[in-house]
Structure formats: structure tokens, C-alpha cells
Amino acid sequence: MVRKALVVLGLLALVALGGAFMARGRGMVVPGLAAQPLTGLIDRPLASGDSLILADFARDRCRLVPTNKRQPCYEEILLATVEKGQVRLAMDALSVLARLDRSTVRRGHDYAHVVGINAWTPEKEVGPVYDSCTGLYQSGCYHGVVQAFLDARGTDSATVYQLCNSIKSAVYNMWLRFQCVHGVGHGLVNNFSLNLPRALKGCDWLVDPWDAQSCYGGAFMEFIVAGRGQSHHPHKKESPAPGTAAAGHDGHSPPAAPGPAPGEHAAAGHDPASHEHETADSFPIRDKTDLLYPCTVLDTKYQTACYMMQAGIIIELVGRDFGKIAHACDDAPVSMQPACYQGVGTYVSGYVVRDPVKAIDLCSKGDAKLQAWCYVGVVKNFIDVTANPDDGFSFCRRLTDHAYAVACFNGVGEEMSVLFPAAEEREKQCAKASRDYIEVCRYGANLPAPRPKDLLPFSPTS
């Protein structure tokens, strides 16, 4: 009886092994077997220029890889596409892949950033490469191009000031300009070895206050993720072996993805709350005794941008309890509490992968007088991820409290004031708002409209 069982098991193993080799022969990545080289296999989908064909190819090649190890497999395909100069095809295929494999959504900003950071090389003019990106997944592609440029050219004051002014689309389109100057903030922190005050002063080289504020946000974002050991770094013409960990590409996604809980920090051997992990200039990365650090030690002009990102650090220290995260914001200076709550909303959106019902539930765990700002953070992140105001309107319609809804629809309008330079387009979009909130949207979008009576008095910049 035992012998028969062993024979049956042996036959099943042979069948499974045969199936594995057949799958490998079709170009699929099979765990435990050396994958067929991508070169040659990807030629046909690339030659088609069809994002659906390329996305189908990616899904089929990587489908046998466990979900939590699939990222390097997809990145290899995206990088091969970028190396052929087809950046837009890579981004469009990534958009399609989100529908074919939902596991890509949470790491969407990572994938987009990898595309951008490998799209530009020193022999290329930066403007056309930048323009080949799309706003998919919080515009990670744009940020990657900027970071790669600064990594190669340096971060002296002249380079920082001139970069976004040398990209024509970033001069005339405020949405694209935001992505550029925000990306500069990432690059400054990266190039200045996480010395946050030095990077923020680098943002001031941009001169224009709006540019500088947008740069501050990128600097704080990079400070948070790099403090976890999760920052992106240029890796030209390199790709990890499918099924292996992708060093340096595992978490540059706030606000799209939640921070790790205590004990899950990527920089093994460094407790970010202990001051053991410091930069060369000894600016501490974390302070476990102060949930609001580094905001508590920075100059006043950096406070709003800092508190809008602080949830990313609080979540590391208290875990994924959004009630505790929100109540940590209650200890911020009164003028900064709305900004802190808005940052909580941004992280809520990423944590629930933009599930509106779950987002509303998590935002409800904070102080009722400040919850509106959490909803503003959620709705702005919805639009940041997709660049589609319809996603924001859909969320706002779920809010039954009038004051919360006013804040929400105004937030959608504020997003559109940057997303759509033409007033006619903002008019068209605001007409889609719920009837009672069309004027609220118009006010937020800088269109002729009276200030809403129930709009909260303080509105941190987005």
C-alpha cells in the first residue's frame, strides 16, 4: 500500500515537473527554475506598440510567481520596455496591468517611479523624457525622471533652480510643474544623505513660494521612506532576477501605501526611533519619544508641509491604529492640526487602497472637529493617484455630514485648480458635482463663486 502511494506521488511529481518545464518553455517564470531570458520573448509585444498586448505578456510571464514576490518580475519587463525608449508604452501597459492583476495597485507608485528613474540617461534631453511620463500612480514616473537627473547632474543651486524651468511643459502646466518641483524635493533629500534641514534649504533655491512648498512635500516624503531604508535609487540597465527581492524598490509609495508597523523597518539593525541611524551630518532620522518629530525641531516656514506628511512617521511608532495616529495629531500646535489630519487622510487612502467605505470608517476615529481634514486628505489622494476628479466626486457624495461634504468638494476643486489650467475645463468638471456643492467646487477651483458659508477657515496647501 505504501509502495503504491509512493508510486502515485512520484507520478504526480513528474507530472508537476513536466508542467513546470512546459510553462518555462512558454516563457513563464517558474519558481525554482531558471527563467528564459526576456530578450527575444518581449520583442513581439514591444513591436506591437499595444499596451494591452504588453500587459497580457507581463501577466502571463509572471502569473506563477507568488504575489508577494511578483514585483521584480514585472519590473524586469517595464525596464526592458524603457530601455527601448518606449516610456509611454510602459506606463500605459502598467495602467492595463492594474486591471489584469490587482496586486500591482498597491505598488503602483513603485512601478511608475522605476519607469521614470530609468527613462532618463545623461545623453538625453530631460524635457521630452519627462513629457513621455503620465500621471498614473501619483505621478511616480515624473518624480523618477527628476531624481535621475539630479543624481547625475548634482544638486547645486543653479541646477535645482533651472531644472523645472528648462522643461517647457512644467513652465506652462501647473500640474506638471508640481510633479517636477515635488520630485526635486525627493532628489535633494536623497543627494544630501537624508539631511532634512539642508534639503529644505535647497528647496528654497526655487525662490517661488509655491514651488518651494511643493518641494518641501517631496523632501518630507523622501525623508520618511528613506528613513525606513525604502528609497529608490537609479539603477541603469539593471534588473533583479525574477522572484528575488528588488533592493531599493520596495516602498517609495506613501501616500499610496502604509508605513510599516513597529519592528518592520526595512533598514535591518537600525531602530529609526533610537537615533542610531543618523546622516553624516548627524540629523536624527527618528525620535521615539516624540511622535511629531521632525516637525517639532524645524523652522516655522516648513511646518505645514511637515505636518501634512507626519502621519507617515507616526504610523511607524504606534502601528496601524488610525485612532492613535489621529489623536497624535491632537497634540500638534492648533494651527497645524488640520494639516496633520489631512496627512492622516492621505495615509488612510493608501492603507485601504482607496476603498471609500473603509476610508470613511478610519477617518471617523479622530476628533469630530478635525475629521473634515482627514476626508480632504483622502479625496485629494484619490485624485492624486488617478488624476481623475470623478474619483473625488464619488467619494464626497458618500459623506452625509454637510460640513464634511463642503470640505470634501472644496478639496476636489483645489485639486482641479492645479490639474486643469484652463478655466473652461474646471467649469466642466465642477458641473459634475452634487447639485448642492457645485458652487463649493467652483470656489475651490478658483472659479467665480462665493465663499461657502460652512467652509472651514483653514486650508493647508495640497
Q: Is the pLDDT of residue 148 over 70?
A: yes
First to last CA, the chain: 70
Q: Is residue 274 part of a domain?
A: no
pLDDT confidence bin for 211, thresholds 50/70/90: very high
- Confirm if 330 and 374 have CB atoms less than 8 A apart: no
Q: According to the model, what pLDDT value does residue 34 have?
A: 86
Do 343 and 420 lie in a common domain?
yes
pLDDT at site 1: 62
Q: Could you report the per-residue pLDDT of 86-100, keeping only the tens digit for each?
A: 999 999 999 999 999
Q: Angle, nearest 10°, between helix axes 136-153 and 371-386?
A: 70
Helix (H) or strand (E) run with residue 248 in it: none
Do 167 and 314 have their domain in common?
Answer: no
- How far out from the chain centre does Cα 259 lie? 12
Q: What per-residue confidence (pLDDT) applies to 265? A: 27
Please tell me the predicted confidence (pLDDT) of residue 131.
97
Task: Look at residues 168, 114, 190, 191 and name the one whose alpha carbon lies nearest to residue 145.
Answer: 114
- 116 is a domain residue: yes
| Residue the block writes with cell 541603469 | 236
Domain assignment present for residue 263? The answer is no
Position 180 pLDDT exceeds 90: yes
| DSSP single-letter state for residue 34 | P
Q: Is residue 170's pLDDT more than 60?
A: yes
pLDDT band for position 459 (50/70/90)?
low
| Position 244 pLDDT exceeds 70 | no
Cα 178 from Cα 142, distance rounded (Å): 10
Per-residue pLDDT band for 240 (boundaries 50, 70, 90) equals: very low
247: in domain: no
pLDDT band at 24, cuts 50/70/90? low
Task: Mean pLDDT check: name the lowest of 173-187, 271-285, 392-406, 435-449.
Answer: 271-285
pLDDT of the residue at 41: 93
Cell numbers standing for residue 335: 494651527
Pair 220, 300 in one domain: no
Please report, as a single letter, which amino acid is at residue 247: A
379-391 average pLDDT score: 90
What pLDDT band is residue 276 in, cutting at 50, 70 and 90?
very low
220, 304: one domain: no
pLDDT tens digits along 44-55: 999 999 999 999
Q: Which three cell numbers stand for residue 442?
A: 467652483
Per-residue model confidence as pLDDT tens digits over 60-86 = 999 999 999 999 999 999 999 999 999
Going through 52-190 in order, the beta strands assigned E by DSSP cover none
**Exposure string for 364-384, b = 16+ CB within 10 A, e = fewer:** bbbeeebbbbbbbbbbbbbbb
One domain, residues 219 and 302: no
* pLDDT of amino acid 252: 32
**How many CB atoms neighbour CB 397 within 10 A?**
15
| Mean of pLDDT values over 90-114 | 93
Of 31-45, 160-174, 253-267, 429-443, the one with minimum mean pLDDT is 253-267
CA atoms within 13 A on the CB side of 237: 3
**Structural domain of residue 222, as residue ranges?**
48-227
pLDDT, position 232: 61
Structure-model confidence comparison of residues 17 and 329, the more confident one: 329
- Does 33 fall in a domain? no
Q: Is the pLDDT of residue 7 over 60?
A: no
* pLDDT attached to residue 23: 58
In this structure, are 201 and 319 located in the same domain? Answer: no
pLDDT of residue 143: 93
* Angle (deg, nearest 10), helices 356-363 and 389-396: 60
Residue 277: predicted pLDDT: 40
Whether 260 maps to a domain, the answer reads no
Domain boundary at 172, 198, 227, which?
227
How would residue 246 be classed by pLDDT, with cut points 50, 70 and 90?
Answer: very low
pLDDT range class, residue 241, cuts 50, 70, 90: very low
Count of domains observed in the chain: 2
- What three-state secondary structure class fits 435? helix
Say what the pLDDT of residue 262 is. Answer: 25
Instruction: Please give the Cα distance from 377 to 380 (Å, whole number).
Output: 5
Whether residues 203 and 345 fall in one domain? no
Contact 245, 230 (CB under 8 A): no
Structural domain includes residue 29:
no
Quick check: is 53 in a domain?
Answer: yes
Least confident of 11-15, 171-175, 213-217, 346-350: 11-15
Q: Find cell 447639485 and name the residue.
A: 435
Report pLDDT for 235. Answer: 52
pLDDT of residue 458: 62
CA separation (Å) from 430 to 179, 332, 451?
23, 34, 15
